[in-house]
Structure 1
Amino acid sequence: MEGKEEDVNLGANKYSERQPLGTAAQTQDKDYKEPPPALLFEPGELSSWSFYRAGIAEFMATFLFLYVTILTVMGYSRSKNKCATVGIQGIAWSFGGMIFALVYCTAGISGGHINPAVTFGLLLARKLSLTRAVWYMVMQCLGAICGAGVVKGFQTSEYQLLGGGANVVAPGYTKGSGLGAEIIGTFVLVYTVFSATDAKRNARDSHVPVLAPLPIGFAVFLVHLATIPITGTGINPARSLGAAIIYNKGHAWDDHWVFWVGPFIGAALAALYHVVVIRAIPFKSKS
């Protein structure tokens, strides 16, 4: 029982929702409670088991995410008859479906980020401390590297021959186009995360916490449909880093900055939109 109490007091749920900024902060007429903003650094987290198990959950989720999705990409790339494979839609479903399943599994432990860009956006919105954000990002990147590494271990020669699922800007598109696609795609994802977990929505619709992974996974699916032809769809720096490190060939690194700068800008814009627009609108449910 003490472990459960510690998880509530010092775990990821401590920063699930934060106090609004702007006009909502001055609104007293509301029927939901929002915890105060996260501190930049909380020494107490470092002595809490929930802090470390949350990082382990992020590692395992990102590992499984890369393992399943990169294998799907390899299966598509291997076939000469693309119509006989899952196709672009199948790849998009693989990414979106895994995010849906993994967010559902890990939301109660770590918040289910599985993406440094999501973690960065939540950090800017003051939903978690810098300490926890850095810990999550490190574990996400390690999990992604291990996941891609296991895929390569299964099919070493084919992995190298087929590109290893590494993200690159497609021929015919400029780096600026790739950067724009990553910014907008990540904005859609992080905006959906903020909206699906908003305290006002939770207060109004009791079923939303259960359904929150669904719109997040669906957002990932739709973004992949739109941007696979442009960049292979990154919107997750850990996913791009893991594939690039394990593939480790020149063209995998040529455009790699796009898959960090774009997602972080998109996440920052989503966090700004959340603070200015979503959290600034007070909510009062009907009596």
Structure 2
Amino acid sequence: MREANVRDARPAPAGGGAMQKYLAEAVGTFVLVLGGVGAAVLAGDRIGFLGVSFAFGLSLLAMVYTVGPISGCHVNPAVTVGLLLAGKFDKRHVAGYVIAQCAGAILAAGLVLLIAKGAPGGYSAGVEGLGSNGYGAASPEGYGGGAAFLAEVALTFLLVLTVLGATDSRAPVGFAGLAIGLVLTLIHLVGIPITNTSVNPARSLGPALFSGGAALGQLWMFIIAPLLGAAFAAAVYRTVNQPVTQISAARAEQALEGERRQRLAERDVENPV
């Protein structure tokens, strides 16, 4: 009996099979876009830029602890590319992650649109934008393409560098979600007036497909700029941060080992064999 309990108390291995990881990424991106874009479209007039910024940050924070131990909670092709270039992600899963992220974002944007259409007077994604990203006339404050490109590169750099640092083997295990969620909030506080803040090609793709027009025509920037920012972040991380060992984002986002063992021990006490 004692041997069985000790064996059960060992930490479960991180993550799951490939399809579990892809499904987790789809779910995580769905929640991010539903929470963030949904807040902008359905409640933006009431909560303003500050509220929308926190909606994105809190959505990501929640998903880090929900799907992070399964997939690492990239929920963003730029983060996936950054982790790959930093040597912290297996290239075999890149395509599966990106496809799952885009699918989750598209489904979430479609759901937000369906809900928005139920408002008095309806809702037109083509006219009102569905929280799409843009520059020039499509920018909330009229910022030009050059400023928008620089902002997206720099803000994605900040996001991906934070992800890389927070999931470093020397960082406090289990606290990555706080840093990542808070930095996404900060990024939106800076970026919403400029482009509505992308830093995530999947997040931009979902609303753009339903909005069409300028949102779809300008989508290229919100794919290229975040990927470029992610590449810069990976280069800086590899230059200034050389840990002895590497751990995956999923492993870093799990609870501390002592906490995991404590929970399993409590389970055994409450449900003895």
TM-score range normalised by the length of the shorter chain: 0.7 to 0.9
SS in 2 for 1:127: coil
Q: How does 1:1-150 map to 2 (within 5 A)?
A: 8=13, 12=15, 50-77=17-44, 79=45, 85-150=46-111
Cross-structure match for 1:184: 154
Gaps of 5+ in 2: 1-9, 246-273
**Pairing partner for 2:209 from 239, 242, 245:** 245
**1:220 aligned residue:** 184
Equivalences for residues 199-214 of structure 1 within 5 A = 199-201=169-171, 208-214=172-178
Given the alignment, which residue of 267, 273, 277 partners 2:230?
Answer: 267
Alpha-carbon shift at residue 130 of structure 1 (Å): 1.8
CA contact under 8 A between 2:105 and 2:203: conserved in structure 1? yes
Q: Is the 8 A contact 1:92 1:221 kept in 2?
A: yes
How far apart, CA to CA, are the structure 2 residues paired with 1:280 and 1:197? 11
Aligned residues with identical type, % of pairs = 37
Q: 3-state DSSP class of the match of 2:157?
A: helix
Q: Deviations over 1:43-62 (max 9, x none)?
A: xxxxxx61110000000111
Amino acid at match of 1:158: Y
- Tell me if 1:195 matches 2:165: yes
Q: CA deviation at 1:200?
A: 2.2
Inter-CA distance 155–132: structure 2 relative to 1 (3 Å threshold): same
Partners in 2 of 1:75 and 1:136 — Cα distance? 28
* Equivalent residue, structure 1, for 2:266: none
CA RMSD of aligned residues (A): 1.9
1:254 and 2:217 matched? yes
What's the secondary structure of 2:181's corresponding residue? helix
Task: Report the alpha carbon displacement of residue 76 of structure 1 after superposing the two structures with TM.
Answer: 4.0
Q: TM-score, normalization: structure 1?
A: 0.74
Give the counterpart letter for 1:136 in structure 2.
Answer: Y
State the AA in 1 paired with 2:237.
H
Q: How many angstroms apart in 2 are the aligned matches of 1:278 and 1:246?
A: 41
CA distance in 2, matches of 1:135, 1:111: 14
**Number of aligned residues:** 226
Deviation readout 1:135-183 (Å, 9 max, x if unpaired): 1000000000000011111223315242111111115322111110000
Contact kept, 8 Å, 2:157 with 2:229, in 1: the verdict is yes
Question: Are the aligned partners of 1:74 and 1:159 in contact in 2 as well (CA < 8 Å)?
Answer: no
Give the Å deviation of 1:280. 6.4
Q: Distance in 1 between matches of 2:73 and 2:38?
A: 22
- Indicate if the aligned counterparts of 2:170 and 2:243 stay in contact, CA closer than 8 A: no
CA deviation string 1:178-209 (max 9, x = no partner): 110000000100000011011122xxxxxx22
Report the residue type matching 2:201 in the other structure: P
The answer on whether the counterparts of 1:59 and 1:139 sit within 8 Å (CA) in structure 2 is yes
3-state SS, counterpart of residue 209 of structure 1? coil
Say which SS state the counterpart of residue 109 (structure 1) adopts: helix
Question: What does the per-residue CA deviation read over 1:14-40, in whole Å, with 9 as the maximum and x for residues that have no partner?
Answer: xxxxxxxxxxxxxxxxxxxxxxxxxxx
In structure 2, C-alpha distance between the alignment counterparts of 1:159 and 1:276, rounded to whole Å: 47
Q: Assess if the C-alpha contact under 8 Å between 1:168 and 1:255 holds in 2.
A: yes
Residue pair 2:155, 2:187 contacting (<8 A) in 1 also: yes
Could you say which residue in structure 2 is the equivalent of 1:158?
123
Counterpart CA distance in 2 for 1:210 and 1:50 is 22
